Structure 1
């Protein structure tokens, strides 16, 4: 504390406004749908991204009106990341809290279900830890999502700001590590894009903060976010990949008249089950007429879409159709288009 207050000297020799050495990389894990690694000093986080059909969104049973969650973020910090040898058990306070913080940091930039009909799960694994792993997982998740082809509206970066106080004296420092977090008075985490903040979380050991300290912390973290986005995230991957991984399910969407839903489903689900059996696709139909079709093979998804379109099609007089005559009657014939 004396070094910081009197000499503005940090334990690793950095200036008060200096960020540790950074690195960003995508595509580390070729078999997953998307992956990214973000390194900040001795803190390193690898995030993998998995895409799935909407039907595999997480079901919630809470007291509010939200019953499903299409974006899930899990954070794991095993003992070896801090040099400990211990068994990996159920998630603790840190895993749940940091996972929720990273999840909330990313949600504002995710595409709508209509534009990108996938359930998304990101898992951040802390490989090595020396402070600010939650914000490193935010950066790693941005890399993994862009690598997976998720059309996020803007890259998100996160960074922390520390505080040292003595009476009326105070001083902030950017990108605190473990020792500075332990001896300091504040851990002020801010994540966001270049257009604004998506999440704030603060740990405070003193009675309160003045408006000047808060303003200084916000300005400091803003400059840090811009630096990370411009110099590391965007040079690593400038925009989301144009298409999802070849290992990810391919999704198509369409919307039909609500009155046609029963025709697509059929009696006892016979029609929709036959479409799934013939094409190998998975089909989800919502009450408003939105249909989501998923298949590993894109052609299978298009085949299912064509079948659905033929079922809900209203024949137009004068149009030529190719069909199969199923029955001939005195008054005409039944034709399956």
Structure 2
């Protein structure tokens, strides 16, 4: 399993990963992008920004990098970075299929991505990913599985995924939406020839949205590596947008709201990798301080009061504008 590289790592930041959703395309739903990205969001400008982030992350001990077919040119940018550094062999590279990027490098497209979990889409996107990342790809995940996803019941798709697993690729899935726990439990039941198909799960979990926690613990008990995404709630837990309770705890630790928010997730015994979605190296450095944040019981109780009802959380997330 490639994630054994992370389990054996000794650097404090080894269990923090870098996700490329915010820098692989000009438009996304994270708050504060008008300040985070170059004024001209050209392909070359975001390629340079991505490489800058990857360099900084690797230098500070980050060893998991996360892309997706729908993150614009994230796979391309990551592949360029890897090709220029052939001696780097201690990282884990993950990507995802199931959404197609349709924004055409704009921020105001009618649709930015289209979801399709069919076998045909897997075959097409697997070939596209392979052309860019080749044998540097360690993990391939189904993007945003929900309880009604055909990816949970398509036996032909399961057979093709099992073939990829037999050839050395780790197969996983990610989840989104208010029914993440149901999707996780359904995916844990998927087997091929009596063997579990999925070896990783990537889910949204943060100070505002904790509903997937029990199911993620079950996944970890079943032997899956758990990857946590959207730990910053798309910027809602970062300055200046963070709730007052989080700002108060951050002030007490003398660190940023982002570091505290990510530290809260790192405390979960089932959290194998927690993703930073930083768009600048300053944000990244602040995020990585999560590894040294120490929270007492009083602070944890105050942060626990921030939890929202899942339906309300995902409704608000769905209203965030692409910009």
TM-score over 0.5 (shorter chain): no
| Higher radius of gyration, 1 or 2 | 1
Please, what TM-score do these two structures have when normalized by structure 1? Answer: 0.26
Please, what TM-score do these two structures have when normalized by structure 2? Answer: 0.26
**Larger RCO of the pair (alpha carbons < 8 Å, separation 6+):** 2
Structure 1 or 2: larger helix share? Answer: 2
